[in-house]
């Protein structure tokens, strides 16, 4: 009993007395977060009591609004961190990136978990979420593929992250088992990721008459997959930047020495992916013979801004950063790249979809608040985990036990 | 009769052209990205400081010029003119810390107190505090250190001076400083203390005479180097 | 070595299960949507005859027991804006100013021969019935609204205002035609602008009308080939986009657009594990060679008998 008390005190309350811990919770960030939650959580409850229309801005013509546009279409590529880092470390032998492996897997796991949370709020009948898994299979549907793969991938990510959990609750045997299947889980994870990242794009294959030709292409799945790669790489950079700045006490001191070098490496990889992606987009325009559309208002200009300002520009920021060893430039490029991916996904899911329909509204304050609420919860949970589990640092009882 | 433009833009031709140009651009891109690496390495080599192997130091001793006064926190004082003195890091501490990457010194006009924290240097990306050896007012900061902090390693008693201070109470402060024979005895004792920290495994590493970037503290204590430094520089 | 073999077998197991799940079943469900069902029914809507009386809307409302509308059915001010089917109205009539004057067109689900909604639904909640109706099953729907996204004609409507929302759309009066009756709208139309019958017969009738009065009709039956063919077809005197029909839908059934991607799935499931395992094996071998060259001992070279004893 005493052992459990000790563990709870050390690992839940960070070694502080409960009163002290509660007092320390009052920080500006937490106050703002609490404010958001106080407004947002009742809105979510209203959504369940009064139906989707009370909070979500979907219509009969445009069923997917900002809510799913952010939660699913942006959330999933931004959570692509796990499979990329796991491949780099386990499959390509880049052991130098080990300090970033667990954070990347955690980012991925939390990201996908919250994509499911977004779904649970957005689905008309969320209690039927397991239906495509157990009740009835619509196998011709790409959404079916996505449902299965996200469920499987969530499991895989948890398995990949479980060594950290097992270290935290001090179970050596389970941890050893989890580490043992890490490579198999990684390979499985890459397969699943390839398929569902591209499947999210394939969802738009069924809407050739609705998506603006500059974004529609039979190769949308490939675009989504490739942009998820550099989105994941950029998110790893952003996550480490934020954690090293705001939670430095939770990071192993020697990581501070290597993080700049690792950031440069990630930036280099991202730049190669992005220059490839840029050319693929150009080929897409050529394939559809859509050159004349490039100079239309507003879609043509938006496409140009997206491709030149948010793909090519960050790509060159990365390359210059690598060339001059400037980690700060790389970090700025990471933010720009992620902004570009968000812009691309929101454009495809909302703005360029049904572009020929009149009277479309995108501004929905209640929906925006609910999105903000869920993001806040996501950040709080992430912070809770990094503060307590050995994510950015080694667990003192398990140091040096990596293979 | 189709124009060339029509031919290119509306047939497969343009796609192949784009694909081929991508391959060419990619090759250039790769070189461009790699080019940076070579440049950085060259710069690093220039700035690398020739620090002799560790055993050499411990056996041969550390530099301790005669005309200087030393504080037990391993900072030195040298009278310059009137009541103005220069302050810097001694040879022991620059070898302990390894490559100095920058300095954080107070601005002109700040008051220093002997034995209290007042200046710091940056090693391994972390600021390391130093104790001020005298009471006084900072009247100048070494401008050359902004560009080349490595001077502290290369010439700790000359071009690597940190600040100049007006010290009206220098005569009184002198009782808290070592010089001459006393300084030598003090440094012998310090060296002895350090030798007891040596672990046997370091023997092979210390014998290499090549240029080293990390300091003695890091070689002895690894990630706990900062604790070792604080102990020897007498900082809290 | 044992570890690798175990992993490989695991992968093989997963791969087989996944393969078993995917391609075979796809073709099963596409077979459900049989293209050339000559006996399936349809409706021919002759836009040149429609007078915009909205009797069809009223009949639909009655037959399906829908709630009373905001504006009554004889209120023709509704024509000032373009409407679409909603959760409370399975069909609407819109007024269009065309090159040949004012025309009216009835909008409802077109009951495609290979419905995009059925392709899109991940729980198989849509079924193309032999009679021609495309029916939505309330017992399975999870409310994802992907069917609404997929339908090129914007037919399905969703009950956003309900905590237990349903998809609402025209059912081609499945219960009525199943028992030999006419769909409500067809029966109510006073000018016989709507004809119900076997799809193949309707096409013949339509062709007949076109050839008899070529000045009255455009030489095209909308819905004969659009989106792979629909059960609800239109005849018009003006180009179809003038009466609000999408002429860029193309003749592929929507499911064809996803076939390419779906067939690449088993390829990935087979090629990726092989490729990635090779990377892993190559990397591992590489690092083992490096370790060996550095004179360090491989941990794994243990006498199995000893290892057992230690445990």
A163 in a structural domain: yes
User: C24 or A118: which carries more pLDDT confidence?
Assistant: A118
Q: Which residues of B touch A272 (CB under 8 A)?
A: 26, 29-30, 33
C3 in a structural domain: no
Q: Touching B: which chains, 3+ CB pairs < 8 A?
A: A
Cis, bond preceding A298 (omega within 30 deg of 0)? yes
Lowest mean pLDDT among B88-102, C62-76, C224-238: B88-102
From CA B48, how far away is CA A16, in angstroms rounded?
A: 45
C278 in a structural domain: yes
Same domain assignment for residues B117 and B80: yes
C258 in a structural domain: no
Same domain assignment for residues C50 and C199: yes
From CA C55, how far away is CA C299, in angstroms rounded?
A: 85
CATH code of the domain containing B71? 2.40.50.100
Same domain assignment for residues C210 and C268: no
Same domain assignment for residues C28 and C47: no
A401 in a structural domain: no
A1 in a structural domain: no
Cβ neighbors of B145 (< 8 A, separation 6 or more) are B102, B103, B151, B152, B160, B162
Same domain assignment for residues B174 and B82: yes
Smallest CA-to-CA distance from A341 within A134, A55, A70 is with: A70
A115 in a structural domain: yes
Q: How many domains does one find in chain C?
A: 2
Q: What average pLDDT does the structure give for chain C?
A: 84
Cβ neighbors of B162 (< 8 A, separation 6 or more) are B87, B88, B89, B103, B105, B119, B121, B141, B142, B145, B152
Same domain assignment for residues B125 and B30: no
Tell if the CB–CB gap between A279 and B39 is shorter than 8 Å: no
- Provide the ipTM: 0.89
What is residue C296's predicted lDDT score, i.e. its pLDDT? 54
Same domain assignment for residues C30 and C42: no
Quick one: pLDDT band at residue A281, thresholds 50, 70, 90? very high
From CA A377, how far away is CA A213, in angstroms rounded?
A: 37
Query: Which residue blocks in chain C are alpha helix, DSSP H?
Result: 2-21, 23-32, 55-63, 116-120, 146-150, 174-178, 184-188, 199-212, 255-293, 304-310
User: C1 or B96: which carries more pLDDT confidence?
Assistant: B96
Cα distances from A88 to residues A176, B196, C65, in angstroms, run 21, 42, 61
* In the predicted structure, residue B200 carries a pLDDT above the cut 60: no
- Please write the tens of the pLDDT for every residue from A373-390: 999 999 999 999 998 888
User: A98 or A397: which carries more pLDDT confidence?
Assistant: A98
Tell if the CB–CB gap between C283 and A139 is shorter than 8 Å: no
What is residue B219's predicted lDDT score, i.e. its pLDDT? 72
Query: Directed axis angle between helix A255-287 and helix A98-122, to 10°?
Result: 50
Same domain assignment for residues B14 and B60: no
Lowest mean pLDDT among A5-14, A32-41, A336-345: A5-14
A5 in a structural domain: no
Helix (H, G, I), strand (E, B) or coil at B192: helix
Tell if the CB–CB gap between A205 and C258 is shorter than 8 Å: yes
Same domain assignment for residues C192 and C223: yes
Quick one: pLDDT band at residue B43, thresholds 50, 70, 90? very low
Same domain assignment for residues B158 and B219: yes
Quick one: pLDDT band at residue C36, thresholds 50, 70, 90? low
- Cα C228 versus chain centre, distance: 11
C233 in a structural domain: yes
- Please write the tens of the pLDDT for every residue from C249-290: 988 888 888 888 988 899 999 999 999 888 888 888 888 888
Give the residue numbers spanning the domain of B201.
54-232
* In the predicted structure, residue C302 carries a pLDDT above the cut 50: no
Same domain assignment for residues B85 and B127: yes
What is residue B189's predicted lDDT score, i.e. its pLDDT? 81
* In the predicted structure, residue C303 carries a pLDDT above the cut 80: no
Same domain assignment for residues B63 and B85: yes
DSSP A355: T
A340 in a structural domain: yes
Task: State mean pLDDT over A99-112.
Answer: 94
- Please write the tens of the pLDDT for every residue from C156-212: 999 999 999 999 999 999 999 988 899 999 999 999 999 999 999 999 999 999 999
A323 touching B, CB under 8 A?
A: yes
Same domain assignment for residues C27 and C123: no
CATH code of the domain containing A332? 1.20.1630.10
From CA C265, how far away is CA C99, in angstroms rounded?
A: 49
A353 touching B, CB under 8 A?
A: no
Tell if the CB–CB gap between C149 and A207 is shorter than 8 Å: yes
Quick one: pLDDT band at residue B207, thresholds 50, 70, 90? very low
C67 touching A, CB under 8 A?
A: no
C292 in a structural domain: no
Of A255-264, B168-177, C137-146, the range with the highest mean pLDDT is C137-146
Q: What average pLDDT does the structure give for chain A?
A: 90
Query: Which residue blocks in A169-219 are alpha helix, DSSP H?
Result: 172-180, 182-202
Q: How many domains does one find in chain B?
A: 2
Same domain assignment for residues B94 and B166: yes
User: B228 or A382: which carries more pLDDT confidence?
Assistant: A382
Quick one: pLDDT band at residue B209, thresholds 50, 70, 90? very low
* In the predicted structure, residue B104 carries a pLDDT above the cut 90: no
pTM beyond 0.90, yes or no: no
Query: Which residue in chain A has the smallest CA separation from C85?
Result: A60
A188 in a structural domain: yes
- Residue B185: phi, psi to the nearest 5? -65, -40
Same domain assignment for residues B206 and B223: yes
Same domain assignment for residues B131 and B40: no
A268 in a structural domain: yes
Q: Which residues of A touch B25 (CB under 8 A)?
A: 275, 279
Mutate to test the interface with B, among A286, A290, A396 (most CBs of B within 10 A): A286
- Please write the tens of the pLDDT for every residue from A59-101: 899 999 999 999 999 999 999 999 999 999 988 888 889 999 9
The answer to whether A101 and A185 are in contact (CB under 8 A) is: no
From CA A58, how far away is CA A364, in angstroms rounded?
A: 10
What is residue A81's predicted lDDT score, i.e. its pLDDT? 94
Give the residue numbers spanning the domain of A381.
27-392
Same domain assignment for residues B99 and B180: yes
Query: Which residue blocks in chain B are alpha helix, DSSP H?
Result: 4-10, 12-47, 54-60, 91-97, 144-147, 151-154, 170-173, 180-195, 202-206, 216-221, 225-232
Give the residue numbers spanning the domain of C126.
36-252
Q: Which of C230, C252, C274 is the last residue before a domain boundary?
A: C252
Q: How many domains does one find in chain A?
A: 1
From CA A140, how far away is CA C23, in angstroms rounded?
A: 9
Same domain assignment for residues B58 and B27: no
């Amino acid at each position: 009993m005493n052992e459990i008390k000790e563990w709870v005190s050390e690992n839940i309350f960070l070694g502080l007395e409960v009163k002290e811990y509660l007092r320390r919770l009052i920080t500006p960030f937490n106050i703002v977060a609490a404010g958001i939650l106080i407004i947002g959580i009742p809105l979510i409850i209203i959504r369940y009591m009064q139906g989707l229309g009370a909070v979500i801005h979907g219509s009969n013509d445009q069923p997917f609004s900002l809510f799913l546009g952010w939660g699913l279409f942006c959330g999933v590529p931004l959570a692509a961190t796990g499979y990329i880092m796991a491949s780099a470390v386990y499959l390509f032998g880049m052991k130098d990136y080990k300090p970033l492996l667990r954070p990347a897997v955690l980012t991925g796991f939390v990201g996908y978990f919250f994509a499911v949370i977004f779904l649970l709020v957005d689905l008309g009948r969320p209690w039927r979420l397991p239906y495509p898994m157990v009740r009835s299979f619509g196998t011709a549907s790409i959404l079916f593929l996505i449902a299965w793969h996200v469920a499987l991938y969530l499991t895989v990510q948890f398995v990949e992250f479980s060594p950290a959990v097992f270290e935290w609750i001090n179970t050596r045997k389970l941890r050893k088992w989890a580490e043992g299947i890490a490579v198999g889980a990684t390979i499985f994870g890459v397969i699943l990721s390839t398929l569902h990242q591209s499947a999210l794009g394939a969802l738009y294959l069924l809407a050739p008459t609705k998506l603006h030709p500059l974004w529609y292409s039979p190769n949308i799945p490939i675009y989504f997959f490739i942009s998820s790669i550099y989105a994941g790489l950029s998110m790893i950079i952003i996550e480490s930047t934020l954690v090293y700045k705001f939670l430095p006490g939770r990071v192993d001191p020697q990581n501070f020495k290597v993080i700049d070098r690792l950031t440069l490496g990630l930036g280099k990889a991202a730049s190669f992916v992005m220059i490839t992606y840029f050319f693929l987009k150009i080929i897409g325009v050529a394939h559809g013979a859509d050159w004349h559309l490039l100079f239309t208002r507003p879609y043509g200009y938006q496409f140009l801004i997206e491709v030149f300002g948010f793909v090519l520009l960050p790509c060159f920021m990365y390359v210059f950063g690598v060339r001059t060893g400037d980690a700060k430039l790389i970090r700025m490029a990471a933010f720009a790249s992620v902004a570009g991916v968000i812009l691309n996904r929101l454009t495809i899911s909302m703005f360029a979809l049904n572009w020929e329909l009149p009277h479309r509204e995108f501004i929905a304050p209640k929906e925006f608040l609910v999105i903000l609420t869920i993001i806040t919860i996501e950040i709080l949970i992430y912070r809770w985990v990094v503060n307590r589990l050995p994510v950015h640092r080694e667990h003192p009882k398990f140091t040096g036990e990596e293979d | 009769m189709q124009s060339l433009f029509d031919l290119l833009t509306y047939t497969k031709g343009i796609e192949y052209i784009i694909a081929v140009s991508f391959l060419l651009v990619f090759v250039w891109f790769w070189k461009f990205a790699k080019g940076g690496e070579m440049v950085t390495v060259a710069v690093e080599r220039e700035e690398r400081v020739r620090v002799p192997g560790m055993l050499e130091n411990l056996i041969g001793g550390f530099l301790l010029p005669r005309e200087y006064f030393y504080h037990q926190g391993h900072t030195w004082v040298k009278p310059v003119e009137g009541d103005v003195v220069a302050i810097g890091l001694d040879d022991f501490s620059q070898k302990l810390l390894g490559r100095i990457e920058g300095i954080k010194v107070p601005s002109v006009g700040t008051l220093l107190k002997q034995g209290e924290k007042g200046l710091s240097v940056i090693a391994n990306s972390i600021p390391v505090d130093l104790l001020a050896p005298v009471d006084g007012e900072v009247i100048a900061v070494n401008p050359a250190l902004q560009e080349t902090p490595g001077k502290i390693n290369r010439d700790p008693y000359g071009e690597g001076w940190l600040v100049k201070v007006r010290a009206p109470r220098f005569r009184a402060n002198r009782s808290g400083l070592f010089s001459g024979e006393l300084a030598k005895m003090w440094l012998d004792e310090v060296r002895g203390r350090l030798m007891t920290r040596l672990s046997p495994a370091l023997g092979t590493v210390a014998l290499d005479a090549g240029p080293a970037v990390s300091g003695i503290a890091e070689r002895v204590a690894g990630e706990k180097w900062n604790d070792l430094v604080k102990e020897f520089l007498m900082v809290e | 070595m044992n570890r690798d073999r175990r992993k490989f077998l695991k992968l093989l197991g997963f791969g087989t299960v996944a393969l078993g799940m995917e391609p075979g079943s796809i073709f099963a469900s596409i077979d459900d949507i049989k293209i050339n069902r000559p006996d399936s029914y349809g409706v021919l809507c002759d836009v040149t005859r429609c007078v915009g009386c909205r009797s069809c809307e009223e009949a639909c409302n009655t037959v399906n027991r829908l709630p009373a509308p905001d504006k009554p059915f004889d209120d023709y001010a509704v024509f000032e804006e373009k409407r679409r089917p909603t959760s409370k109205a399975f069909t609407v009539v819109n007024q269009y100013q065309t090159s040949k004057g004012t025309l009216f067109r009835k909008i409802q689900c077109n009951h495609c021969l290979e419905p995009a909604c059925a392709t899109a639904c991940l729980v198989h909640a849509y079924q193309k019935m032999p009679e021609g109706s495309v029916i939505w099953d309330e017992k399975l729907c999870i409310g994802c609204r992907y069917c609404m996204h997929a339908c090129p004609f914007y037919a399905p409507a969703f009950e956003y205002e309900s905590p237990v929302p349903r998809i609402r759309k025209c059912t081609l009066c499945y219960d009525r035609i199943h028992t030999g009756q006419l769909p409500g709208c067809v029966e109510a139309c006073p000018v016989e602008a709507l004809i119900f019958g076997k799809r193949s017969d309707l096409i013949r009738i339509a062709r007949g009308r076109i050839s008899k009065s070529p000045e009255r009709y455009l030489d095209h039956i909308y819905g004969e080939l659009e989106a792979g063919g629909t059960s609800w077809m239109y005849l018009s005197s003006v180009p179809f986009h003038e009466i609000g029909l999408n002429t860029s839908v193309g003749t592929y059934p929507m499911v064809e657009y996803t076939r390419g991607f779906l067939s690449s799935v088993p390829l990935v499931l087979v090629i990726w594990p092989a490729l990635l395992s090779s990377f892993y094996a190559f990397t591992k071998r590489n690092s083992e060679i490096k370790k060996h060259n550095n004179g360090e001992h491989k941990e794994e070279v243990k006498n199995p008998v000893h290892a057992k004893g230690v445990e």
